[in-house]
Amino acid sequence: MQPTKPLSNAMALGGCATTRRHLDMQASALMVLFCLALGFQQVAIKMVAMDISPLAQIALRSSLAALLVAALACWQGIRLADIRAHLGPGILVGVGFTAEFVFVAWGLNYTLASHMSVFLYTAPVFAALGLHLLVPGEQLTRRQWMGVGLAFGGMVLAMAPATDIENAADILRGDILGLLAGLSWAATTLVIRRSSLSEAPPVQTLCYQLAIAGLLLLPATALLGDLGRIQVTGAVVASLAFQTLVISLAALLLWFALLRRYFASQLGIFSFLSPVFGVLFGALLLGEALTINFLMGGIALLIGLLVVTR
């Protein structure tokens, strides 16, 4: 049984019409790579947090990637007039993107990287609900909603802490910030799909996000004194290179390209794989506990994913 098809297979936004498809094998493979990269993201930030604060990492990687994306946009022939044409929704997605990673950076000061991975990827649930209500053609069937519920329940079970965990209050604070990061990500997805950015080149949407994040976060990081406390080490350079080139450039360009071609609700649910990878990387590289809750929840999450995307 397939998801409900668009009434006209078109988005009535700015007079543009684009046929979006159900996920195929190529898109599924690309989403696995995307989820692998994003699953490692929180671990990469946490690994060097003693030498450079998470907020400083987000500010620097956004600014560096913004320069690269701007150069790529110029090479692709995107003009200033094109940038101005989508400036309103572009500012909105930029603010949403900035809020998402401020919450990530802030939350990582309190909670585990594995927990942040889980809560950040509540975004597909919120996005699927919003898309179901607001975007024609993005409705999920009853079976798919059952899959969403199973995946979300598995995700909650996977992050449930042990009863004897230390500094539980701090971890709860960080988990709440992770949830707010997920809400921010879902909001940017809805803005993109409900505005003229739905048909804009991926590089242009990414340019809005990274430029605004850099403009807002670099001054804030400087005022907080985080830039002056950076310890330049090989690990810091490697982490920033990964975050700039792989996360902020390649992975996000891939995400927006897929968002233009496939149903956002199906793509979003597929990204439930990211917290699984995030917890595994946290256990392997940071020594974070891999509990029976995670193993059971991860199995439920994967079954829910199959139900939604089969």
Question: 141, 215 in Cβ contact below 8 A?
Answer: no
Backbone torsions φ then ψ of 262, nearest 5 degrees: -125, 165
Distance CA 245, CA 263 (A): 26
pLDDT at 138: 67
Identify the burial level of 167 via C-beta atoms within 10 angstroms of its C-beta, where 0-12 means exposed, 13-18 middle and 19 or more buried: exposed
Residue type, 205: T
Q: Residues 209-266: pLDDT tens digits? A: 999 999 999 998 988 888 888 999 999 999 999 999 998 888 888 887 887 788 766 7
Question: 57, 43 in Cβ contact below 8 A?
Answer: no
pLDDT at 165: 61
pLDDT class for 48, splitting at 50, 70, 90?
very high
Residue type, 108: L
Whether residue 185 is predicted with pLDDT greater than 70 in this model: the reply is: yes
Strand partners, 74: none
pLDDT at 99: 92
Q: Residues 117-159: pLDDT tens digits? A: 878 877 777 777 777 777 776 677 788 788 878 877 887 776 6
pTM to 2 decimals? Answer: 0.74
Question: 301, 151 in Cβ contact below 8 A?
Answer: yes
Quote the tokens at residue 138: 């993005």
